[in-house]
Amino acid sequence: MSGASETVPPRMPSHPDWALPEGACDCHTHAFGPYDRFPLIHPTPYPPPLAAAEVHREMLARIGASRGVLVQPGAYGSDPSVILAALREADGRLRGVAASTAAVSDRDLDAWHEAGVRALRFNEMTAPGGSGRYPGSIGVSELDGLAPRLAARGWHAEVWASLDTHVGLLPRLRGCGVPVVLDHMAGLDAARGVGDPGFQAILRALREGWLWVKLTLCRCSGDYPDYAELRPFHDALIDANPTRVVWGSDWPYVRLGDKTPDVAHVLALFRDWAPDEGLRRAILVANPASLYDF
């Protein structure tokens, strides 16, 4: 367990050596603190970062992203206060992915929507040490009761799990009635290769159009800093459906230690792996604008 007294500064990015298109969005980031205003509700298996809303805005400015998406970390449970405060200060340039059980009121959902929330996150990923889900996480079992309410607001569901868990959930997710976004390249296992039946099942769902995947590299590979083993998977996801993938950094990179990437370097990889300017614009601008209602 880590308390907020054991905080660490986040790695701030260098400036990219290329200009992101206007409207570019980092679709996977987190905000933490300031802890005197937004104390953690649940323990974390990592030192909490000093990543308040103003630091997040500075990160986006450094990389030249005019938009961003803040995703609820488990340490804040179902309290989206830190995200809502950041959204209110962002002049419409941010969107939020909150987390909640089905007990949430319609009044709260409507208020979150007005602030800029456009999805709820469900987490089935096991915390380090194999002790169950990350403390404060909300499982996919809650989606059944929430899906009609998400649909009524034009929201989607976001899921973080391992590849095999995602694949096992596909029938349930396919029938939930809202778009579903899988975090971290669907939790793929690079050692199993692109031909892995589980990864192929994700590609088929992408082609169907209801599923989205975030092209976020760092949780899928220890091949730091260039993640070369992920290139074939990155290509396959884009080829399966270039209208259903979005890019995200995962800043401020909790729990990565000396393998914490520079967002600018990760963006350089994306540029090199998606060399067509029109494709990059779709993934960085058009797809997020559609998914997050910018």
First vs last C-alpha separation in the chain? 37
Which residue's structure tokens are 């590849």?
163
109 vs 36: CA distance, rounded Å: 25
What value, to the nearest 5°, has the Cα angle with vertex 224 and ends 232 and 126?
85
The verdict on whether omega for the bond into residue 252 sits within 30 degrees of 0, i.e. cis, is yes
Specify whether the backbone of 29 is left (phi greater than 0), alpha (psi in -120 to 50) or beta.
beta
Q: Judge whether 69 and 25 are in contact, CB under 8 Å.
A: yes
> Residue 68's closest CA among 54, 79, 78?
54
Q: Where are the domains of the chain?
A: 4-10+21-292
* 30, burial (CB in 10 Å: exposed 0-12, middle 13-18, buried 19+): buried
Report the C-alpha gap between 259 and 262 in whole angstroms: 10
Of 122, 128, 163, residue with least CA distance to 140: 122
- Taking only the tens of pLDDT, the chain with its 294 residues reads 444 558 999 999 999 999 999 999 999 999 999 999 999 999 888 899 999 999 999 999 999 999 999 999 999 999 999 999 999 999 999 999 999 999 999 999 999 999 999 999 999 998 777 678 888 899 999 999 999 999 999 999 999 999 999 999 999 999 999 999 999 999 999 999 999 999 999 999 999 999 999 999 999 999 999 999 999 999 999 999 999 999 999 999 999 999 999 999 999 999 999 999 999 999 999 999 999 999
Alpha helices in the chain (DSSP H): 53-63, 81-88, 106-115, 143-152, 163-174, 197-208, 231-240, 263-273, 277-281, 287-292
Q: Answer whether 218's CB lies under 8 Å from 250's CB.
A: yes
Which helix (DSSP H) or strand (DSSP E) does residue 215 occupy? Answer: strand 211-215
For residue 18, how far is the Cα from the chain centroid? 23
- Residue (of 131, 137, 68, 138) closest to 102 by Cα position: 138
Which neighbouring-strand residues pair with 95? Answer: 69
DSSP 218-281: TTS---TTT-GGGHHHHHHHHHH-TTSEEE---TT-TT-GGGPPPHHHHHHHHHHHS--HHHHH
Cα-Cα-Cα-Cα dihedral sign, residues 91, 97, 98, 104: positive
- Side chain identity at 128, as an amino acid letter? P
Nearest to 232 by CA among 189, 279, 286, 193: 193
Count how many residues are written for the chain: 294
- Homologous superfamily in CATH for domain 4-10+21-292: Metal-dependent hydrolases (3.20.20.140)
Give pLDDT, residue 128.
Answer: 76
Q: What is the pLDDT of residue 5?
A: 52
